[in-house]
Amino acid sequence: MARIHDLLSDIGRQETLQLGLDRRVIDAASGYLSSEDNETSFLFSGWTYTSFPHRRLADDASWTLRTDQATLVVQPGLRVPASGEAVAVGVPYGSRARLILLYLQTQAIKTGSREVELGKTLTAWLRRMQISIGGKSLTDVRAQADRIARCRMTFEFRSGGVLGLRNQHILDQALFVDDQAPAGSAPFLETARLSESYFDELRRHPVPVEEIAIRQISNNSMAIDIYTWLAYRLHSLNAPRAISWKALDAQFGHGFARIDNFRRQFKENLDLAMAVYPGAVVEVSSAGVTLKPSRSPTEPKLYKSSRLTLT
């Protein structure tokens, strides 16, 4: 057993690579530890219990995710093309949707305004996230921004015997630039305004995460979901909390027909998430995972506090 962050700190990246460990985890941890970036991003706490799908659904399909704490239903929005017949644009999905939404929420929190400029500002931020902007990547970014702008969500939160319900759009106003869109693709989202209800919830329940951590896992939607979940849960614990594989599958496992396939994928992505959260203390067992009280990821880096272990 070896602590990946301790190995990197003690013997360096090149020597650690010779040990036969997962290179993706080594690269993520090394990139995180070597960065001096201390920028903080923010997301609404509801996204630590629910999420968009990882893969594309049929454009007219809704998305439902139900966990012990919350239920999310996302309905696809409509676009009226030149033909005049309204068509569903599909619900947001994958890592690009998560990054765009994270950008919108972060800018809103930092500026204190519902109005968010995208355009060159979003492009520059995505480049910082190591997302190339051009070709298919640019088409994907435009498509996900379009889906976010048009979708409608229903959040249900349960606490004891109380059920809270909120229907909302993420955005209530958007400005698109059609002449920048290639034929057959989504228009370019230039400016956006968060809906008042979403902005209020975001300001009441923001979750801080490290921008450098997101950068290292920016192409992996499940790793992003696990990281933000840990960022919200771990530092607020007063005692260890066991989470069963059944509960984990309900939150993170949509799209897996077999629980053993989900377990393997979850463990790999948990390793990636913890590679960029050295203070996280999580144990994996045959019954599930046990979360233990940990430092917040936005506290100053303490390399030796790592609890990520690889066999």
pLDDT by residue, tens only, the chain of 311 residues: 348 888 888 888 899 888 888 999 999 999 999 988 889 999 999 999 899 999 999 999 999 998 887 899 999 999 888 777 899 999 999 999 999 999 999 999 999 999 998 878 888 888 888 887 777 888 888 899 999 999 999 988 877 777 787 888 999 988 887 655 555 567 778 889 999 999 999 999 999 999 999 999 999 999 999 999 999 999 999 999 999 999 999 999 877 778 888 999 999 999 999 999 999 999 999 999 999 999 999 976 544 334 444 43
Task: Tell me what pLDDT residue 171 has.
Answer: 94
Q: What is the pLDDT of residue 302?
A: 46
pLDDT at 185: 62
Q: Which helix (H) or strand (E) holds 290?
A: strand 288-292
d(CA 35, CA 283): 27
pLDDT of residue 305: 39
Q: What is the pLDDT of residue 301?
A: 53
- Contacts (Cβ under 8 Å, ≥6 apart) of 306: 3, 4, 5, 6, 278, 279
CB contact at 8 A, 93 and 53: yes
Q: What is the pLDDT of residue 36?
A: 83
- The number of CA neighbours under 13 Å toward the Cβ of 273 is 24
CA atoms within 13 A on the CB side of 28: 29
pLDDT at 154: 92
Q: In what order do the strands lie in the sheet with 115-117?
A: 115-117, 188-194, 171-177
pLDDT reported for residue 276:
96
